Amino acid sequence: MKHVFIIGSKGIPAKYGGFETFVEKLTEGQKSKQIKYHVSCLADDYKNFKHNGARCFNIKVPNIGPAKAVYYDIAALKESIKCIEDNKIKNSIVYILACRIGPFVGYYKNKLKKLGGTLIVNPDGHEWKRAKWNKAIRQYWKVSEKYMVKHADLLICDSKNIEKYIKEDYKQYNPRTTFIAYGADTEKSKLTDEDSTLLQWYKEKNVKKKEYYLVVGRFVPENNYETMITEFMKSKTKKDFILITNVEKNKFYEELREKTNFDKDKRIKFVGTVYNQELLKKIRENAYGYFHGHEVGGTNPSLLEALATTDLNILLDVGFNREVGMDGALYFNKKNRNLANLIDKLDNIDEGYIKTLGSKAKDRIQKEYTWSYIIDKYEELLANKISY
């Protein structure tokens, strides 16, 4: 039996978040009987419980601001090592999601090594590039990433571009890497076009099927909302631009509104968040097109969901997005009128061409990004059929 301790997600059952969904799907879809998962969960008590067959252990963390995530990962790592030691577990694996605890990881790596354990790290994306962090925090993230790479026995990258970056930027450590992508839900929505939930949502938001472009994601600068909004405003399309995102008390939202006056363009509609997953899936399916402006990170969950559901996907032309979308999507850059001109062309594009794009996108997801395929890859690795 291979005992695998997963640290770095907020825990399961998953309510939101990429890493949380990943851990939920990995444990829910477990096929191998050779693996026992132990999952750290951020909670207000210390109890243990079972979910999807995994042993979940709660970690209580004081409210200490930005350092909370670092404290949580260290506490979860300490608890994992204690469990390995107390139960005399042989050949354990500790899998840390993201690079938050680099300056501290060397000490715990040595303890784990003495117990015969292996340290695997998922470096996530370029967290140190995110605009939400101030300069000092960005510097910490970059240093932390360096030490996580240095001490990891293996790095699992969910993007080939991230894997290439790790190998090039940290070649002095000769990092051991492998590529396993994030997964996507490929099932169609259970809702029909006549479902009252969908029709009510359309009525409230004043939206019509196939008469809107869509974006779903966090409202942060590095997702290039400014480019998408300003370019959409320059276009002549009569379709709406629907933004499913949380902008409540968002400083960036106010700055962008003052800068672009998007609130004066009736086509641009911020509609809040949608927590009903079947409804969200149907909204995606019925969109005329999907915009994806993410510039930081690896394989993005919202992009996979878009390719699996929406026929016309228009992605920012960066390596992360190209490697996923390939020839099943169209691409835009940040030059003046590049996206605006593309939107105008798409208003009169042949419907058959859109269907062909959609078919290629769905085929891409079906072959490389289903959760079943991703779980197989992980289990092959974690059960030690692949040497690391």
R_g of the chain, CA atoms, integer Å: 22
The residues with which 154 forms a beta bridge, in sequence order, are: 120
User: What is the three-class DSSP state of 77?
Assistant: helix
Identify whether the C-beta of residue 17 lies closer than 8 Å to the C-beta of residue 41.
no
pLDDT digits (tens, 9 = 90+) for 172-181: 999 999 999 9
Rounded to 10 degrees, the C-alpha dihedral 260/263/268/274 comes to: 110
Q: pLDDT grade, residue 388 (50/70/90)?
A: very low
Distance CA 49, CA 215 (A): 37
Distance CA 337, CA 318 (A): 18
Tokens for 2, please give them: 């291979």
Would you call 195 exposed, middle or buried from its count of C-beta atoms within 10 A (0-12, 13-18, 19+)?
middle
Between strands 48-51 and 54-60, the pairing is: antiparallel
Tokens for 104, please give them: 């501290």
Distance CA 60, CA 239 (A): 48
Give the closest residue to 357 by CA, choosing from 312, 325, 315.
Answer: 312
Please tell me the predicted confidence (pLDDT) of residue 127: 62
Find how far residue 289's CA is from the centre of its chain: 20
Tokens for 367, please give them: 């072959």
Classify residue 363 by its DSSP letter: H
pTM for the model stands at 0.89
Give the closest residue to 311 by CA, choosing from 173, 179, 193, 210.
Answer: 210
Q: How many CA atoms lie within 13 A of 256 on its CB side?
A: 19
pLDDT digits (tens, 9 = 90+) for 110-161: 999 999 999 999 998 666 556 666 677 778 888 999 999 999 999 999 999 9
Distance CA 379, CA 288 (A): 38
Please tell me the predicted confidence (pLDDT) of residue 374: 97
Mean pLDDT over 257-281 rounds to 96
pLDDT digits (tens, 9 = 90+) for 159-168: 999 999 999 9
pLDDT digits (tens, 9 = 90+) for 164-223: 999 999 999 999 999 999 999 889 999 999 999 999 999 999 999 999 999 998 898 989
Strands (E), 185-301: 212-216, 240-244, 268-270, 289-292
Residue 19 phi, psi (nearest 5)? -65, -35
Is the preceding omega at residue 123 within 30 degrees of 0, hence cis? no
pLDDT > 80? residue 48: yes
Please tell me the predicted confidence (pLDDT) of residue 116: 95
pLDDT > 90? residue 47: no
Distance CA 161, CA 171 (A): 15
Place of tokens 């968002």: 250
Please tell me the predicted confidence (pLDDT) of residue 125: 66
Classify residue 188 by its DSSP letter: P
Mean pLDDT over 53-63 rounds to 95
Average pLDDT over the chain reads: 93
pLDDT digits (tens, 9 = 90+) for 287-325: 999 999 998 777 888 899 999 999 999 999 998 899 999
pLDDT > 60? residue 243: yes
Percent of the chain with pLDDT over 90: 82
The amino acid at 314: I
Place of tokens 């009987």: 33
Domains in the chain, CATH or no CATH each:
2-183+370-382 (3.40.50.2000), 196-368 (3.40.50.2000)
Contacts of 373 (CB under 8 A, 6+ apart): 183, 367
Please tell me the predicted confidence (pLDDT) of residue 132: 64
The runs of H, that is alpha helices, within 123-250 are 135-151, 160-169, 196-205, 225-234
Tokens for 12, please give them: 């399961």
